[in-house]
Amino acid sequence: MNVKERDRLKVLHEVEQGHLKQRQGAEQLGMSERGFRKLLKRYRAKQDAGVVHALRGRRSNRRLKDETAQQAVEAVRERYRDFGPTLAAEYLEKELRIKLSHETLRRLLIQAGLWQARPRKLCEVHQWRPRRSCRGELVQWDTSVHAWLEERGPARMYLIALIDDATSRLFARFVPADSTAQHMRVLWDYLERYGRPQAVYTDRAGLFQPTLAPGWKGEEPGPKTETQLGRAFRELGIEWIAAQSPQAKGRIERSFQTLQDRLVKGLRMAGASSLEEANEYLDKEFLPEWERRFTVPAGSAVDAHRPLGETLRLESTLSHVEQRQVSNDYTVAWDGKHWRIPKEAVKPGLRRSSIRVEQRLDGQLVARIGEQYYALSACQKPEKTAPQPKGEPRRYVPKPGQSNWMKGFHVEGNEAWRVYRGQPATVSAPLRSPSGLPARG
């Protein structure tokens, strides 16, 4: 008997001795009078055994069937061998209609030797920063490189992810390279779907913060102190916050652990083998499932995202922007070529002035002159060639081997030299200078 049953037995003894009334005994046990009378009846019939529950020692009628347990274990062994119990339970219910709790499946897998309980690690405790109160108030941003498609597709793909700090709502895209242009494309999709967040929280990578030489002031924004993404954040009115450690942006770091487990297996089950198929599965199936399962309500119902409005032009802001000087022939230099400004954009004072030149994400080169945007066209300047001489050269240059500048110059042994060359000897003795050295004739 347990403690509860022993307490019942004592009250029943008191009622049988007449020390308590049935109503008082029911109050002490927290039961109704009808239930107490039934319990007293069982006690009078079976004595102390009447207090013990009749199903003790028998298997529950709601127990898991042996066939279902065996079917679940075999399915995990064949199809979900590297799945964890929680994820495997979800796929068993979704694909095979076998509904098990993850703890029940964990126990079955441990008994079958398919799962090993992991001991808890003692780690350093970091003080948690409270979530922001409104969605869109802070978005954590990071990139993860992983074998997302395993051996079915590209060996190296990047996942750019943005997670809302208040709700853990996730937005992500697969990209082929971790470049500024790819980050701008992902930001463009996010802005069109949700609007402009108040702030973004990233690491200190070179995409967001340039490496400055000693002496540059980092607090003054300008061409030398901000990257293209930093300029885009400034023009969009988005505050950029740099994390000093990975633990500071732990929400996005922990989400990558979940993504590298669940998303990899989900892409495998969906049969995705290319970047386009991976993005399609991510957008249509995985992100809605993430929002249903992992997002939490924000502390406030206010959405801090701001609309884009009519004044912001994403194609202009999310591009590679530099300042260029207009030449006297109304061209600007870009990427080693000269680009012509259209005639309708030419106006007084344009030459030798500095204009904003943008290389859009679609490859088009556009110049902003005043408040207007003009597409630039590449022009080919004529190649410089060497000037051709007019007429005969002023100075006669003999061909090689026909020069007579040594003619009449006699050296000692010239007669032997003539004999050696097979020519008749015409000079009997060489001319000598007063110093004894051969002299010119």
What is the rounded CA–CA span in Å between residue 3 and residue 426? 146
Burial 28-49 (b: 16+ CB within 10 A, else e): ebebeeeebeebbeebeeeeee
Band the pLDDT of 441: cuts 50, 70, 90.
very low
Encode pLDDT of 298-322 as tens digits: 999 999 999 998 888 999 999 999 9
Q: What amino acid is encoded at 95 in this protein?
A: E
Q: For helices 22-29 and 3-16, give the axis angle rounded to 10 degrees.
A: 170
What is the rounded CA–CA span in Å between residue 204 and residue 406? 76
Encode pLDDT of 317-359 as tens digits: 999 999 999 999 999 999 989 999 999 999 899 999 999 999 9
Encode pLDDT of 180-216 as tens digits: 999 999 999 999 999 999 999 999 888 998 876 666 5
What is the rounded CA–CA span in Å between residue 223 and residue 232? 12
Structure tokens at 263: 């998303």
Band the pLDDT of 415: cuts 50, 70, 90.
low
Among 305, 314, 312, 299, which Cα is nearest to 197's? Answer: 305
Encode pLDDT of 14-50 as tens digits: 888 888 888 888 888 888 989 888 888 888 888 877 7
Mean pLDDT score of the chain: 85
- Which class does domain 139-294 fall in? alpha beta
DSSP 225-271: T--HHHHHHHHHT-EEEE-SSGGGGHHHHHHHHHIIIIIHHHHHHHT
Task: Kindly report the number of other CB atoms within 10 A of residue 190's CB atom.
Answer: 21
pLDDT at 309: 84
DSSP 195-221: -B-SEEEE---TTTS--PPTT--TTS-
What is the rounded CA–CA span in Å between residue 291 and residue 293? 6
Q: Could you state, in order of their start, the residue ranges of all structural domains in the chain?
A: 3-50, 66-112, 139-294, 319-379, 400-441
* Mean pLDDT on 114-138: 79
Whether 15 contacts 21, CB under 8 Å? yes
Helix (H) or strand (E) holding 142: strand 139-146
Q: Is the pLDDT of residue 231 over 90?
A: yes
Q: Is the pLDDT of residue 379 over 60?
A: yes
Encode pLDDT of 137-160 as tens digits: 999 999 999 999 998 988 889 999
pLDDT at 126: 59
What is the rounded CA–CA span in Å between residue 99 and residue 93? 5
What is the Cα 39 distance to its own chain's centre? Answer: 66
| Beta strand pairing call for 331-334 and 365-369 | unpaired
Q: Please identify which residue in the block is written with the tokens 């020692």.
A: 57
| Beta strand pairing call for 320-325 and 372-375 | unpaired
